[in-house]
Structure 1
Amino acid sequence: MANNFLKGLIFGSLAGGIYTLLKTPRSGEENREFLLDYLDDTTLLVDDVTKSLNDLKGAISTLSNEGKTLTNEFTQEVTVSIEEFTNQTEPRMRRIQEQTEKISKDITELDKQISPTE
């Protein structure tokens, strides 16, 4: 895509320069000087655009790599946090389970005591 853009820019610059040469009231010396200045300016602009595109590609690549690194770090941190949470809550969950079983057993015994024996 950038290649086509550069070709179009160069072709347009040349076409504009030729048209100007044919329609200008200036002398040949002035036209050559003007054309050389125009070509120099156009070359500088094309080089600047090319450099900017290369800088943009590098920035996108860097951003992509940093994003991958951050995603991996985030995933590892979340995994560690979940493991820590599980380890911290496991004893509590065990105590809650034991208490639930005890309450259930007590309710069963109470129910036996309250209900009339037949």
Structure 2
Amino acid sequence: MIKNFIKGLLFGSVLGGALGLLFAPRSGNDTRRKLSLSLEEATRTQEDLNRSLQRFTNSAKETQTLITKMIPELMTGLQKDIEAFQFQAEPRIKRIQKQAEVLNEHIAQLETAKKHE
């Protein structure tokens, strides 16, 4: 899609420049010289665009390679963090569960005591 746009842009530039030169009130030598300069400029512009497109393509490939390499490393790091959190949280969770059991026992004892009053 980008290539078609660039081709259309270059074609339109060259055609517009050529028509402008052909219909301008100049001598044949001036018109040919101007047309030659316009074609050289269009060629340089196309070469610049091609280089820019190639640099963009290379950058996109490098970015894709970097992301492909980093995702497994990131996943490994996240997995290690999760495991470390679980290791640290597990004793805390057990203590909280134990405290909840003790509280439930106290509540049950209070309810039993209330019934006997």
Match of 2:71 in 1: 71
Match of 2:4 in 1: 4
Match of 1:42 in 2: 42
Deviation track 1:36-69 (CA, whole Å, cap 9, x = no partner) reads: 1111111101111121122122222222332333
Distance in 2 between the 1:21 and 1:68 partners?
A: 52
Structure 1: tracts of 5 or more residues without a match: none
| Pair 1:18 & 2:18 matched | yes
Q: Normalising by the residue count of structure 2, what TM-score does the alignment of the two structures yield?
A: 0.69
Distance in 2 between the 1:21 and 1:102 partners?
A: 96
1:21-100 map, 5 Å: 21-97=21-97
Question: Structure 1 residues 94 and 28, CA, compared in 2 at 3 Å: closer, same or farther?
Answer: same
AA aligned to 1:46 is: Q
Offset, 1:14 = 3.4
AA aligned to 2:29 is: E
Give me the identity figure in percent: 34
Distance in 2 between the 1:10 and 1:111 partners?
A: 89
Question: Structure 1 residues 91 and 31, CA, compared in 2 at 3 Å: closer, same or farther?
Answer: same
Offset, 1:87 = 1.8
Structure 2: tracts of 5 or more residues without a match: none
Offset, 1:13 = 3.0
Distance in 2 between the 1:73 and 1:89 partners?
A: 24
AA aligned to 1:9 is: L
Deviation track 1:83-109 (CA, whole Å, cap 9, x = no partner) reads: 112222333444555566577678878
Q: Which has the larger radius of gyration?
A: 1
